[in-house]
Every structure is written in C-alpha cells, then in structure tokens.
Amino acid sequence: MNTATSREIRLAARPTGEPSPADFELVTTGIPEPAEGQILVRNTWMSVDPYMRGRMDDAPSYIAPFALGAALEGSAIGEVVASRAPGIPVGASVSHFLGWREYAVVDAAAATVIDTSLAPEAAYLGPLGTTGLTAYAALTRTAPVRAGDVVFISAAAGAVGSVAGQLARELGASRVIGSAGGPAKTKKLLDTFGYDAAIDYRQGGIAQQLAQAAPDGIDVYLDSVGGDHLEAAIGAIRTGGRIALVGAISGYNTTEPAPGPNNLFRAATHEATLRGMLVSSHFDLFPEWIGKAAGLLADGTLRTEQTVVDGIEQAPDAFLGVLRGANTGKMLVRLTPDSPGLSA
C-alpha cells in the first residue's frame, strides 16, 4: 500500500434547492496501488458541469446519483504515475471519469490516452471533450443546421454554447443569435465568439428580444436552459424547425416541477421537432469531432475560453459558480499549478 495521500471531494449531504458548500466535504485519503489492468493517475485538470446537480439528488435519471459519503465523479485529465496496464505507459496523459480527487486508480479500459501534441490537456475537457462534442452532435444530428438557417443558442457564453455558435456558422447558418447573462458576456458573444446578435436574459423579455434579433423567426434552437428560453424559441420557430433539448439549467435547483412551455402546440402547427439529446449516445462521433476541432483550434478558427480555479479545495465553489453562470467558456479546476491551460 502506498503511504502517500490524496485529497478528494465527497458528497456530504443531498441539497434541497440550491446546493451550498456544506453539501461537500474535503477528505484526505491514502493512495492504493493499481491492480493488474489498472493505472494510477495524478489528476491535473477536472471538470465541473451543470448535469452534476442532478446527480446530487437520490432520484432515477439517465445516470446514477452520487453516493453519500463517497467521492464525486466527473471528467478529468491526468498523468499516469504507475501502470499495470501494458497499453498505457507511465508518463502518458489520459482522460477518464474519476475527477474530484487528486489521484485516481482507473481501470485501463476506462481511460483514453490523449495526444497533447494536438492540443493542450485542458482542451480535452472543453472543445475536444464532451462539451465540444455536445455542440457538434446537437447541430449535426439532433437539430441539424442547414445552409441559410437562423440559429438560436442559449447559454451561449458557456462551454457548449461558445463552441456551438461558431460551429453553426461553419455548418452554413446565415444568422446566429445567442443568449447570455450581463453586458460583459453579451459583448463577448459578439466580439469573440462570432455571434450576429446577443440577448441579455437578465434584462427579461426573452421572447421580445428574440423577435427583434430574428424578426422572421428561427430554424434551429439549442436549448441548455429550458423555461422562458424554450418558450421563446417555440414562439419563434419556423415551419420545419428543429430544437435540441440538451439541458434545462434554469430548473436544476427548483424544489417543485418546473412548468412546461405554454405554447407547445405551436410546435405541432409548425411541424417542428423537439428532440432530447444525451451526449453519451454520440460518443461514436468523438474521433470525427476531434479531427475537425483540433484543426480549427490550431488555426484560430475556433475561439475558446476557459474559467480556471486552482486547487481541489476550490472545486465545490467552481461547481456552484457554474450553476450561477459565473463562467465564460469551460469552467475547469486545475489540480497542479504547473499544468498549462488552453489559450483563449
């Protein structure tokens, strides 16, 4: 048994409504040696994502809830420091799903070796990770963008939305509209992420702002928010329009079921499609997406940003910040100070 120690974040309590720091616990543990077929990874980066809020509840869903008193889970990148898996050598950089801890013993089958000559480690949790893949799958499969489409994207300054707006343009959209919270973020949509119009949801009147930005309606909507955003999108959808239901962060902390859109029948009269999407159903697209996105990152066509906090002890605050919209681009926790980030 290794006598070195690792710190990890455990779920201390199941929240009611908005989570608080008291729902998490920082624990120091020993580091076990990897068994045959396993690797020991020193995590360098970890991801915090909105879907993790649902896993804090003890309720049936598409992914199992976090266990009380156990370390949380999530996407992470790290360096292999011990290996009993022939295909993964010491020194390799890998992605895996045992974040929220400084060291992780990972089954080799559950780890993917990443190419850090193609892009920095942090990129594999953002544009080259599941958030980038979500944007790609949503706009090519779930609600495919066609040449000339008008596209509306919610949470447009976040990890998915900041990629999705640029991708919509690459796919032939004639006009791309995004929503974000506050003047700094809406300016970022226009100046950095290439949006044609930006809606500040904090100013209210989403439907009215969308009507001004897209007076003839929209063809595609990528929904990460739900609530008034989804209702506004249905109100603006054109005949044959397509809506990708990716998330509904506006209702994640509610204690009662959130009401649905009051204009749902309009989707029927306009023969629109509302289709749910889980990124895990589209992992077959990963090689294709990484092949495309790495080139776009390298030549500067795809512009990305990240919001970084340092230290495992800061992970709960980073997660709570994501739920409040504190991040621009991908929210990441850097676990080792010498890990270089992804340039904006």
User: Is 106:142 a contact under the CB 8 Å cutoff?
Assistant: no
- Averaged confidence pLDDT in the chain: 94
Share of the chain above pLDDT 70, in %: 97
Residues 6+ apart with CB under 8 A from 324: none
What pLDDT sits at residue 340? 58
Tokens standing for residue 236 = 């603006």
Tokens standing for residue 211 = 């009507």
Using one digit for the tens of pLDDT, what is the confidence trace for 33-53? Answer: 999 999 999 999 999 999 999
Question: How far, in Å, CA of 85 to CA of 88, rounded?
Answer: 6
The residue-averaged pLDDT of 203-207 equals 94
In this predicted structure, the answer to whether residue 341 has a pLDDT above a threshold of 70 is: no
In this predicted structure, the answer to whether residue 321 has a pLDDT above a threshold of 70 is: yes
Q: What are phi and psi of 112, to 5 degrees?
A: -125, 125
Half-sphere exposure of 92 (CA within 13 A, CB side): 20
What pLDDT sits at residue 3? 55
**Which range is least confidently modeled, 134-138, 265-269, 301-305, 337-341?**
337-341
In this predicted structure, the answer to whether residue 178 has a pLDDT above a threshold of 80 is: yes
Q: Which amino acid is at 175?
A: R
In this predicted structure, the answer to whether residue 343 has a pLDDT above a threshold of 60 is: no
What stretch of H or E contains 103? strand 103-107
Question: How far, in Å, CA of 117 to CA of 254, rounded?
Answer: 43
In this predicted structure, the answer to whether residue 2 has a pLDDT above a threshold of 60 is: no
The residue-averaged pLDDT of 273-278 equals 97
Which strands form 197-200's sheet, in the order they lie side by side? 197-200, 175-180, 150-153, 218-223, 237-245, 273-276
Using one digit for the tens of pLDDT, what is the confidence trace for 97-126? Answer: 999 999 999 999 999 999 999 999 999 999
| Among 241, 242, 211, 206, residue whose Cα is nearest residue 226 | 206
Whole-structure pTM value: 0.92
Q: Which amino acid is at 96?
A: H
What pLDDT sits at residue 344? 37
Tabulate helix, strand, coil % of the chain (nearest 5). Answer: 30, 30, 40
Q: Produce one character per residue of 62-80: b if its CB has 16 or more CB atoms within 10 Å, e if not.
A: eeeebeeeebbbbbbbbbb
User: Is 40:33 a contact under the CB 8 Å cutoff?
Assistant: yes
Q: What are phi and psi of 232, to 5 degrees?
A: -65, -40
- C-alpha dihedral over 66, 70, 72, 73, to 10 degrees? -90
Residue positions counted in the chain: 344
The residue-averaged pLDDT of 136-155 equals 98
What pLDDT sits at residue 258? 79
The residue-averaged pLDDT of 124-132 equals 96
The more confident residue out of 282 and 204 is 282
